[in-house]
């Protein structure tokens, strides 16, 4: 699904406006923006005036980093971002308190939830309201997959989304204790992607949202146990002792590592994966 479709129409239009400016070398031409976005001139002019409040000194929409920073501020200021952030990280969301905080009517909030649920349907996920609280319902593995999509789409790796978790600690662990341990190289941006995904796992676990053995492939235990090298065993031990992950969570993380093509650039891991799948008939 296209994660950006979740946001309010106004926010999506603001993003379309700054994208037009960025793609036209930072030149602000209202008529050109109107043509690019299919929005009338009056609407574009109004949106641009509001966008100016999100542009900091010395920022230039001709530069990709500045464009992404401005885009991020616009998205983070959305009440839809706040809703999704809390739900995807496993936090409690009071229906009434959320409405009051963001000056929303009940009908508007329910309409947006209904729309988001339509987008989530292919992943068998849905936002539900129970006893005055909102939560997201579905397989934990699917929720984490969508959470990764959502946070990466919004942040693009330029900022750290998770205020309660120290970025340097997680990135160092991923780079030096995980990837050095299993001996394959990834680009820095991929290190950050793994740090995002790993942190989503940790935060959801902290809020009681855990992966069960039933949610990961039936062959996971046999498949993971097939990897006998000291390198791989050390990785499993680190996940157990350093972060106190359950067996199911350790297997889940190790399986997600193997979804990356870089993993199979190590010939030993590629051959071992083929043998493991052959042995398990998978």
Half-sphere exposure of 49 (CA within 13 A, CB side): 5
Whether the per-residue pLDDT at 228 is higher than 70: the answer is no
Encode pLDDT of 74-104 as tens digits.
Answer: 999 999 999 999 999 999 899 999 999 999 9
Give the model's pLDDT for residue 215.
87
Averaged confidence pLDDT in the chain: 88
Segment 100-158, tens digit of pLDDT: 999 999 999 999 999 999 999 999 999 999 999 999 999 999 999 999 999 999 999 99
Global pTM reads: 0.88
Closest CA to 190 of 181, 203, 178: 178
Residue range 174-194: mean pLDDT, rounded: 71
First to last CA, the chain: 28
Question: Does the structure show a pLDDT above 60 at 182?
Answer: no
Q: Tell me which residue of 238, 250, 144 sits closest to 199, measured CA to CA.
A: 144
């Amino acid at each position: 699904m296209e994660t950006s479709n979740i946001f309010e129409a106004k926010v999506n239009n603001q993003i379309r406006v700054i994208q037009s400016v960025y793609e036209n070398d930072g030149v602000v031409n209202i008529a050109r923006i109107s043509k690019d976005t299919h929005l009338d001139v009056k609407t574009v002019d109004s949106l641009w005036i509001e966008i100016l409040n999100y542009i900091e000194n010395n920022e230039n929409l001709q530069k990709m980093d500045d464009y992404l920073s401005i885009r991020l501020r616009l998205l983070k200021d959305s009440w839809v971002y706040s809703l999704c952030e809390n739900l995807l990280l496993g936090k409690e969301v009071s229906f009434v308190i959320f409405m009051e905080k963001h000056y929303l009517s009940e009908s508007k909030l329910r309409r947006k939830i209904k729309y988001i649920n339509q987008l989530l349907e292919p992943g068998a996920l849905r936002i539900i309201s129970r006893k005055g609280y909102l939560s997201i319902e579905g397989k934990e593995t699917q929720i984490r997959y969508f959470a990764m999509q959502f946070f990466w789409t919004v942040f693009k790796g330029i900022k750290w989304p998770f205020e309660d978790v120290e970025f340097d600690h997680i990135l160092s662990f991923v780079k030096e204790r995980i990837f050095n341990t299993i001996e394959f190289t990834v680009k820095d941006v991929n290190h950050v992607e793994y740090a995002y995904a790993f942190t989503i796992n940790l935060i959801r676990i902290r809020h009681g949202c855990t992966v069960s053995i039933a949610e990961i492939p039936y062959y996971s235990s046999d498949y993971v146990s097939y990897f006998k090298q000291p390198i791989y065993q050390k990785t499993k031990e680190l996940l157990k002792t350093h972060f106190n992950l359950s067996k199911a969570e350790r297997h889940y993380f190790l399986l997600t590592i193997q979804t990356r093509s870089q993993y199979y650039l190590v010939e030993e891991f590629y051959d071992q994966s083929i043998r493991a799948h052959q042995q398990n008939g998978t």
